[in-house]
């Protein structure tokens, strides 16, 4: 299915699967794809970063599924052996994004399905690439696949972050045109 996807777009989808699993979800949703796009260099990440969006901050706001398992670290026990949990959290947040220390992969969630809004992202990305005469689907096409839906979890996340949907779309289209 992903033969026509550029390597960065394929990797963004793999990153999305990882984000869904880390969040304890059984399906990859549009918000996971948004995180995957932000993690991979390309027109989508450039657009999202230029709009002031941060991977760690968005990741911290993703809904957790029933399979999410917080680490359950005990600050008092760690302090007893000389470990400052707050310092470790700050370092982990700086290196891997906000809340990263509290996220662990849940066992048994290797095979994740694709939610309807996630499927729609991919369908719309393919259509946008075809509409513009591109042979391969880029991360920019995938971002357009998110932005062109009427409603999805990623749009809710973007709106609550103060991002302007129309401005994001215009920016990613301009970046893709510049890279042709």
Q: What is the pLDDT of residues 157-173, one digit of tens each?
A: 999 999 999 999 999 99
Cα distances from 151 to residues 31, 41, 106, 159, 165, in angstroms, run: 11, 25, 28, 11, 11
Is the entire prediction scored with pTM above 0.85? no
Domain boundaries, the chain: 7-66+104-178, 70-103
pLDDT at 1: 61
Rg, the chain, Cα only: 17
Q: Where are the beta strands (DSSP E) in the chain?
A: 27-28, 113-114
Report d(CA 30, CA 35) in Å as an integer. 9
Write out pLDDT tens, residues 92-107: 777 777 666 655 444 4
Helix (H, G, I), strand (E, B) or coil at 173: helix
Residue 105, pLDDT score: 47
CATH of domain 7-66+104-178: 1.10.1780.10
Q: Which residue would you say has higher pLDDT here, 31 or 65?
A: 31
pLDDT in tens, 32-90: 999 999 999 999 999 999 999 999 889 888 877 765 555 556 666 767 888 776 777 77
DSSP string, 94-121: HHH-TTGGG--PPTT--S-EE-HHHHHH
List the one residue out of 1, 92, 144 whose CA is nearest residue 152. 144
């Amino acid at each position: 299915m992903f033969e026509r996807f550029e390597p960065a777009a394929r990797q963004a989808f793999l990153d999305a699967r990882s984000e869904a699993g880390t969040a304890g979800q059984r399906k990859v949703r549009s918000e996971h794809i948004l995180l995957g796009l932000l993690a991979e260099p390309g027109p989508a990440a450039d657009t999202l970063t230029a709009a002031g969006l941060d991977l760690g901050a968005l990741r911290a706001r993703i809904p957790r599924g029933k399979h999410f398992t917080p680490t359950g670290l005990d600050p008092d026990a760690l302090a007893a052996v000389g470990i400052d949990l707050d310092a470790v959290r700050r370092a982990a947040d700086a290196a891997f994004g906000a809340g990263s220390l509290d996220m662990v992969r849940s066992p048994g969630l290797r095979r994740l399905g694709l939610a309807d809004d996630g499927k729609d992202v991919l369908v719309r990305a393919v259509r946008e690439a075809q509409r513009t005469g591109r042979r391969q689907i880029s991360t920019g096409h995938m971002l357009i696949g998110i932005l062109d839906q009427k409603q999805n979890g990623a749009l809710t996340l973007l709106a609550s972050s103060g991002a302007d949907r129309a401005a994001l779309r215009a920016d990613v289209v301009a970046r893709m045109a510049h890279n042709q």
